[in-house]
Structure 1
Amino acid sequence: MKPIAKIIGQRVAFGALTLWIVSLIIFAGVQLLPGDIATELLGQSATPETVAALRKSLGLDVPAYLRYFDWLSSMLHGNFGTALSNGRDIAELIKPRLYNTLLLAASAAAISVPLALVGGIVAALYRNTFVDRAINVVTLASISFPEFFVAYILILFLAVHAGILPSLSDVDSTTSVLDRLIAMALPALTLAVVVMAHMLRMTRTSIINLLGNQYIETARLKGLPEWRVLVRHALPNALAPIATVIVLNLAYLITGVVVVEVVFVYPGLGQLIVDSVQKRDIPVVQACSLIFAATYILLNLTSDVLSIVMNPRLMHPK
């Protein structure tokens, strides 16, 4: 266990360092935005006195490095500050939005992961046949199309023409579970289509790469059906790269929902950060960006640790 603990500790330390660097980039990027926040909030008719008073109340009259350390210290203590647009506590503002985003990502994962595993096994089972080529064409097409294009295609066919699902995902705290699932169906399906292709192709490739091994040949010589050879013998040994790709795509689901949430007007964290950018609500933008970055780094760290734990050869690098 000691090598694993050491490796995990190194990865956690590297992840913390990466998050600190990202926090610097987020703060510096926001500070470099054109225009003055106080002037934007008060309007062009504001007097110099009112602008100076607002800048002082926002702490903009102190050096940038002091503002950064004060912001970072507040974040580490769970204090996200107050939203400039409505005066609400940012933590309370983010909490329901983050829940909606995580629920949407979980729904997309529940659709995409099983379909990717089944599709990868089927493609490997019927490799170099029409079924395999058809699956490859579909996956390449889904990889090539951007999220908003897939979203509009699904809206056209499933919402406009068929009328099966709503085109807008308007949910709140009073929405029932069934209505929430119906409202999330199109954005979840959009995300599932986009991320499923990577997982499916990795599943297919990982299984095919193992088919020439001796234990696979032994299983075939025992008279086992091909599908059972793939599921019982090849798939468990191919799980390391597959698990890595799945976790990386889950990271994309969390951080890549911004476009999908905007298209479907889904009240998640991505929609919140877009609205905050339009309103120049800098504290909310910084908080949302840091949450996205922390989530992505945490899931990448999980992927890295899983790949090491599931592949003992990586635990003893030479």
Structure 2
Amino acid sequence: MRKFLLTTAALVLGVGSTDALMIAIRPAPQRAITAEAVVVGKVTAIEKDTVEAVLPFPGAKEKVTYRVAVVKIESTLAGAANLTHIKIGTQPPQPAPVPAPPGGPGVRPIRPIRPGFQAPELKEGQEMLFFLTKHPSADFYIIPNMSLPVDIKTDAGKKELEAVKKVTEVLADPMKALKSDKAETRLLAATTMVTKYRSYPDFGGEVEQAAIAADESKLILKALVEADWSNKVRPAPGADVFANPINAFYQLGLSEQDGWAQPAFPRPQPGQPPVDFNALTKEAFVKWLDGPGKDYRIKKLVPKATNK
């Protein structure tokens, strides 16, 4: 029963793990990559009247109440071009559910899911870094549950803002970044674009795959194979840990249909150095690109077209 309840919670929250209560918020750069608009702004007003709008999930019919904040844009990092202000709708906080009483001797009460993934209630005067998605039917943006805003007045927030600026620069002109003379810039561009192309929509729905342009795909793959995949490599202090080639490789989702076969790894032997599985995976990946994968093109996930 406990496994069933946690699995249900995971589905409700849009995640695949059964440990739904321990979900971590995505890193700020990843939040920026999947957002439709990324802005730094200050909340200047909260509209008096609330707005009724459907939930942002595909096929949803239930309406909920939104409170709308008006944000003055101080800098636009992605999307929201030519806007000076932007409206953000958030659902007013809901009271935590009260757990049911025990059902009898030996019956463990069900612990309610903590309401930790609701967008924060915005207040006038707040200055934050926002990751936003346009509401599908209302005239405002919303904050996806796993893309909470960042307080840029804190030291941690300032560091996150700088990391976000790096990926939004890549998103603005990926080909320029992929052709950079700096290996670290090419790797950041490659991992950024793989994450963008292979991320599912924030609010779910069916998807299909579409191949990206061949020249961009080749540059991304080239940047990945140029990088060091060794599990012995550790980021230098201050380095961008988001640019991880092995993570990007697994995001590609290669399968037998692509001619990819997972390599057989040797078993670690007593007294021998540990097996570097990352390095062996890269070796197999490079061989695959020279053979079955020579014409491979990265595929992006796009919302599946529906007949209306």
- TM-score scaled to structure 1, two decimals? 0.21
- TM-score scaled to structure 2, two decimals? 0.22
As a proportion of its length, which structure holds more helix?
1
